[in-house]
Amino acid sequence: MRPNTAHGVITPEACIVHGGHSYCTSTMQDTLRAIAHSFVDHIKITNTNHAPASSLLRRIATFYFTSLVQIGRKSFGGEYYVLGFPTRFDNVTEPELGHIPNPNILSGALDLFAFCLLVILGNALDFRTYTNASGDPLEEAQAYDQNGIALEERVNICQARGVCLELLHWWESKYRIINPPAIYSATDTALTTRLIVGQAATLLKYKVSAEKDEREGAPGCTASLLSLQIKNVISIVPGGLLEWERIHDTPSEVDDKLGFDLHDWVHAEIIDREPQNYRELNPEASALYLIPFLEAPTDFVLVGCTPFDSSFMEYSGGGQISTGTRGPSVKRVKYV
């Protein structure tokens, strides 16, 4: 069943129904809409919150990074497996290829952007951010951003966020979009930054509207608390705070729609960026980027660490960590 689809379970007799989650690359925009609706209109939309499902998104982030950046999408013709073992004798296109977004066509790029938005806003869209360790809603922002997310998972969220920020950096260095919708073409800020910040502003606008209508969303989450969490994340997106302030000063530019409607992008086209300036990864020079299967470099935690995360980790004894640092020379941190 596609995401963001109204559904129900009907059985001829009383029974116990077991369900599960899976995420599809080609429907990531619908996944973005579904998660946002469930977060903002929780009681009206769904009957429960599926916090463990967020770990699937974090694993997919590393799968995308391994496939697109380390191996290269064009290499999937029989020589590489990401989820299995390498072989040089099988010329059949690998099954993983169908699960990797195609970053140089519009639909594939927009699905990649929607996915990265979900992971980058991991804390802000997590119900547990607005509850204490016992699951009770918070009445106000807590010192050191203490909430219902445990230290170990918080580190994992930072790591996945760092991977997605690096994915966007990689895409910006290889491609550019000409003739994007007018709402995303007003400034010289990187397009991916405009998209991330613009959709974050749309999410906040949605929450403000739901709050006025007294529609209950994630327990404990108010528009003001969501705004704090979004701004915290935006602060480590390159150019994010300036774009956030620009949109705040021109609210008419905030989109009313979650996701990216292809009808609005009908004149847009992706072209190769010349020259391509991505810092190529060199596994021989540093063990930083040696990723065994789906384990991302630990140092991506530093790239994806927000000010709130840094404060919480230091308070929790998880180590002192700087925020939003990019590059192989960053300081390694040991977590206990």
Print the domain residue range for 161: 25-130+138-259+298-315
pLDDT tens figures, 5-59: 777 778 899 998 777 778 888 889 999 998 998 899 876 676 666 777 888 999 9
Q: What is residue 318's predicted lDDT score, i.e. its pLDDT?
A: 57
Strand spans (E) along 144-205: 175-178
How far apart (Å, rounded) are the C-alpha atoms in residues 230 and 212?
A: 20
Strand spans (E) along the chain: 175-178, 269-272
Q: Is residue 267 in a domain?
A: no
Residue 270: in which H helix or E strand, if any?
Answer: strand 269-272
Q: Is residue 303 in a domain?
A: yes
pLDDT band at 284 (very low <50, low <70, confident <90, very high): very low
How far apart (Å, rounded) are the C-alpha atoms in residues 114 and 30?
A: 9
Q: Is residue 175 in a domain?
A: yes
CB 64 within 8 A of CB 167: yes
**Domain tally, the chain:** 1
Which range among 42-51, 73-82, 115-124, 306-315 shows the weakest confidence by mean pLDDT? 73-82
Which range among 79-88, 242-251, 252-261 shows the weakest confidence by mean pLDDT? 79-88
Q: Is residue 286 in a domain?
A: no
Burial 58-83 (b: 16+ CB within 10 A, else e): bebbbbbbbbbbebebeebeeebbbe
Residue keyed to tokens 């072209």:
271
280 vs 155 pLDDT, higher one: 155
Q: Is residue 31 in a domain?
A: yes
At 248, the amino acid letter reads: H
Residue keyed to tokens 């697109």:
68
At 101, is the secondary structure helix, strand, or coil? coil
Q: The tokens of 13 are what?
A: 């007799």
Q: What is residue 293's predicted lDDT score, i.e. its pLDDT?
A: 34
How far apart (Å, rounded) are the C-alpha atoms in residues 240 and 233?
A: 9
pLDDT band at 327 (very low <50, low <70, confident <90, very high): very low
Q: Is residue 309 in a domain?
A: yes
How far apart (Å, rounded) are the C-alpha atoms in residues 272 and 177?
A: 9
Q: Which residues pair with 178 in a beta bridge?
A: 269
| pLDDT higher than threshold 70 for residue 120 | yes
Q: Is residue 92 in a domain?
A: yes
How far apart (Å, rounded) are the C-alpha atoms in residues 277 and 282?
A: 15
Residues in the chain, total: 336
This prediction has a pTM of 0.84
Q: Is residue 325 in a domain?
A: no
